[in-house]
């Protein structure tokens, strides 16, 4: 079952009475059906979509890079090393966890974070990663036909338990080696 929803990047501008723009910012607006599903996924971790998207919007604005697709999984996986190892370029895709609360995160103090959400910046990066990974293949199955000139939220199926078991072996060490922590 395909669970993809469009999301929009909107621009909010504040104009003063003298016609001068005092502030302007981009932010995501998600489809109501997607919001309901995302709320359910985040509720398991005492989070909500308003807080989640508010925080990632800040990151997207700072980076100047808005994803083509945001892929949610119903579970989190200890496969951060696997994810970063598949990138050809740091801007191909990134990840976060459903359970990460807002604020600073220290890998040294809190350990390697799990993967629960992927931010895919280019469709071609997802297609390439899908050839090498069941995790990305599950997302590609949902997003392959979606136009690249629009933005998507996808709820992907979980990879097989056996694939997860094999992939998690020594994954924290792989992550630390690649990112240098």
Nearest to 49 by CA among 136, 155, 162: 155
Structural tokens at position 143:
């997003």
Range in 7-11, 75-79, 164-168 the model is least confident about: 7-11
Per the prediction, the chain carries an average pLDDT of 88
State the pLDDT confidence band at 125, using cuts at 50, 70 and 90: very high
* Residue labelled with tokens 């080696």: 177
Closest CA to 140 of 152, 150, 129: 129
- pLDDT value for 60: 82
pLDDT band, very low/low/confident/very high, at 17 (cuts 50, 70, 90): confident
| Domain ranges across the chain | 4-179
Nearest to 121 by CA among 81, 79, 71: 71
In angstroms, the CA 80 to CA 59 distance is 19
Tens digits of residue pLDDT in 58-117: 888 788 788 999 999 999 999 999 999 999 988 999 999 999 877 777 777 788 999 999
- Contact (Cβ atoms closer than 8 angstroms) between residue 122 and residue 94: no
Measured from the Cβ of residue 57, the count of other Cβ atoms closer than 10 Å reads: 16
């Amino acid at each position: 079952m395909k669970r993809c929803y469009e999301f929009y990047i909107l621009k909010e501008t504040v104009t003063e009475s003298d016609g001068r723009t005092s502030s302007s910012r981009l932010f995501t607006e998600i489809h109501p059906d997607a919001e309901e599903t995302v709320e359910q996924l985040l509720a398991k971790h005492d989070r909500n979509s308003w807080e989640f998207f508010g925080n990632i919007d800040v990151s997207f604005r700072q980076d100047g890079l808005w994803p083509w697709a945001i892929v949610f999984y119903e579970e989190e996986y200890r496969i951060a090393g696997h994810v970063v190892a598949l990138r050809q370029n740091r801007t191909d895709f990134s990840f976060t966890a459903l359970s990460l609360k807002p604020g600073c995160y220290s890998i040294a103090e809190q350990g390697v974070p799990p993967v629960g959400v992927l931010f895919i910046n280019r469709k071609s990066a997802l297609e390439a990663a899908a050839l090498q990974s069941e995790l990305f293949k599950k997302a590609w199955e949902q997003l392959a036909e979606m136009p690249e000139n629009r933005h998507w939220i996808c709820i992907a199926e979980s990879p097989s338990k056996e694939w997860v078991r094999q992939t998690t072996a020594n994954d924290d060490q792989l992550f630390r080696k690649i990112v240098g922590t």
